[in-house]
Amino acid sequence: MRNPKGVAIDLGASRVRVWVSGHGLVVDEPSLIAIDKKDHRRLAAGSSAKAMLGRTPAHIVVSRPFMGGALVNVALAEDLLSWALAKTAIRRPNLFLCVGLSLSPLERRALELVAHAVGARSVRLVESITAALMGAGIPLRAEPGTMVVDFGAGATEVAVLRHGGVAAARSVPVGGDDLDAAISDYLEKHHGLLLGPQTSEEAKLEVGSVAPMAVELRVDLSGRDLLTGLPRTVTTGAEDVREAIEPPFARCLGAVHALLESLPPVLRTEVNRSQILLVGGGALLRGVDRRLAFETGLEVRCAENPLTCALRGAGKIAGRFSR
């Protein structure tokens, strides 16, 4: 691959995605690093690291650099970024990193230093929620008062955009990972079944919803019996999964309501005339658009390809540097 000038990267809580100018999406893998604690050596990353979850000895740890929208391990972030760039075979790129609104100035500075440490020629941090609007094809200045809700894996961020920037915002450290954990807790409490994190996520994707559906789906879940320790499979319905994820999802909705209630009259009027745009993995939950429209009274739509919306927007910015 020839060396373009602009590379956009979304390190994300659940996946690391890389967009290269002129090539599009070239990396899309779990944002996981497997480290040997004995010598701090990186053993695997991405899908290879995910395959090691729950299957490693005590001295090998599989973890993420980001949790709840925050940078929790600088060394792991450097490892992840170095690994992602190596997969592109690009040297000395101009990097555009998608970041959450809740990232502190210290965390932002740490990310910049990490990016330079792995060989970036220049580094620019792009707010994911603004980039998502661009990725959805909505001009930043065309619709004042547009609200964007980013249901991420580790955090949910809500912002009202005006004049090309963020006019007001709220965030909570609750996202898709918390929904998965809630499903695990529910199955353990009500069925005495211990689920792995991947099984919980599969249940969410297979039957998860946040509003009643015309057809309520069912799914078979396999785990370990809490009493016997033996493998066991139970069948559970969408209603149970919906009940399980309601508490963390309600916290996400709380951020939306809190932001709407805090808006000054002029900005609230603009929001009422505009829409709510859903991005992030949580936007794919069944019924999330109907639930949000019912609770806010506003027009709600899900962005096309909400998982990569922010990255595509950052990719547009990166593309300007490869012309």
Q: What's 53's domain CATH number?
A: 3.30.420.40
Q: Which of 194, 211, 244 is the last residue of a domain?
A: 244
128-132, 190-194, 270-274: which is most confident: 190-194
Tell me, yes or no, whether 164 and 41 share the same domain. no
User: Into how many domains does the chain fold?
Assistant: 3
Average pLDDT score over residue span 167-195: 95
Tell me, yes or no, whether 167 and 184 share the same domain. no
Q: What's the confidence (pLDDT) of residue 162?
A: 85
Residue 292 lies in a domain: yes
The domain containing residue 75 runs over which residues?
Answer: 6-131+309-319
Tell me, yes or no, whether 145 and 199 share the same domain. no
Place of tokens 């996202």: 175
At residue 143 the predicted structure's pLDDT band, cuts being 50, 70 and 90, is low
Residue 1 lies in a domain: no
**What stretches of 63-216 show up as alpha helix (H) in DSSP?**
74-88, 105-117, 128-135, 176-191, 197-207
Tell me, yes or no, whether 198 and 239 share the same domain. yes
Distance CA 46, CA 28 (A): 9
pTM value?
A: 0.89
Q: Which of 244, 260, 282 is the last residue of a domain?
A: 244
Tell me, yes or no, whether 236 and 252 share the same domain. no
Residue 239 lies in a domain: yes
Q: Which of 195, 219, 244 is the last residue of a domain?
A: 244
Phi, psi (degrees; rounded to nearest 5) at 35: -120, 140
Q: What's the confidence (pLDDT) of residue 1?
A: 47
Contact 151, 187 (CB under 8 A): no
Asked if pLDDT for residue 23 goes beyond 90, the answer is: no
Asked if pLDDT for residue 265 goes beyond 60, the answer is: yes
Tell me, yes or no, whether 16 and 101 share the same domain. yes
Residue 283 lies in a domain: yes
Computed over every residue of the chain, the mean pLDDT equals: 90
For 45, the token pair is 């990353």
Torsional sign, CA 256, 260, 263, 267: positive
Place of tokens 């100035």: 105
Average pLDDT score over residue span 96-118: 91
Local structure of 196: helix, strand or coil? coil
For 222, the token pair is 């396999």
Asked if pLDDT for residue 250 goes beyond 80, the answer is: yes
At residue 58 the predicted structure's pLDDT band, cuts being 50, 70 and 90, is confident
For 53, the token pair is 């979850």
At residue 39 the predicted structure's pLDDT band, cuts being 50, 70 and 90, is confident
Q: What's the confidence (pLDDT) of residue 89?
A: 83
CA nearest to 9, candidates 25, 22, 23: 25
Tell me, yes or no, whether 222 and 271 share the same domain. no
Contact 241, 209 (CB under 8 A): yes
Distance CA 43, CA 296 (A): 47
Tell me, yes or no, whether 150 and 260 share the same domain. yes
Residue 291 lies in a domain: yes
Asked if pLDDT for residue 322 goes beyond 70, the answer is: no
Tell me, yes or no, whether 143 and 12 share the same domain. no
At residue 67 the predicted structure's pLDDT band, cuts being 50, 70 and 90, is confident
Phi, psi (degrees; rounded to nearest 5) at 81: -65, -40
Tell me, yes or no, whether 110 and 160 share the same domain. no
Phi, psi (degrees; rounded to nearest 5) at 177: -60, -35
- Considering the chain, what percentage of its residues have pLDDT values greater than 70? 96
Tell me which of 209 and 71 has the higher pLDDT. 209
Average pLDDT score over residue span 98-121: 90
- Identify the weakest region by mean pLDDT among 36-40, 69-73, 263-267: 69-73
